[in-house]
Amino acid sequence: MTIHAPISYAQREAPTRSLRSVEYDLLAHVTQRLRAAWANRASDFPGLVRAVTDNTKLWSTLASDVATPGNGLPAALRARLFYLYEFTAKHSRAVLDDTASVEVLTDINMAVMRGLRGDGGAT
């Protein structure tokens, strides 16, 4: 009985997640934070700054990945994703300058999430 105890009580390993799944979850999390921070911007501007900054960091990481020569995505898709990074960085500055809303940032994230799910053409 004691021989099997370590096996029976051993921690089970978490199932391996795909990179698409991880990217989807990160985008979903930051999108939710953007929406919540936008709704509370009058009372918690630092929260908005953190959410916008985290979204920009996520997009910077994605841009760095698609710019890597070994990235397996088609060149046209890589170029579009890099353009979205540039746009989100510029638009994020406008949000923080209080001259734009986060709506377009959340729309972009949602569109990419649909693509990661494989239903990029769905509305």
For the chain, what percent of residues have pLDDT higher than 90?
76
From the candidate CATH numbers 1.10.10, 1.20.81, 1.20.58, 1.20.120, the one assigned to the domain spanning 17-117: 1.20.120
Is pLDDT of 2 > 90? no
Report DSSP state, residue 44.
Answer: -
Q: Taking a C-beta distance cutoff of 8 angstroms, is the pair 54, 28 a contact?
A: no
Distance CA 32, CA 55 (A): 11
Q: What residue ranges do the domains of the chain occupy?
A: 17-117
> How high is the mean pLDDT of the chain?
88
Residue-wise pLDDT for 79-115, tens only, equals: 999 999 999 999 999 999 999 999 999 999 999 999 9
Q: Residue 81: phi, psi to the nearest 5?
A: -65, -40
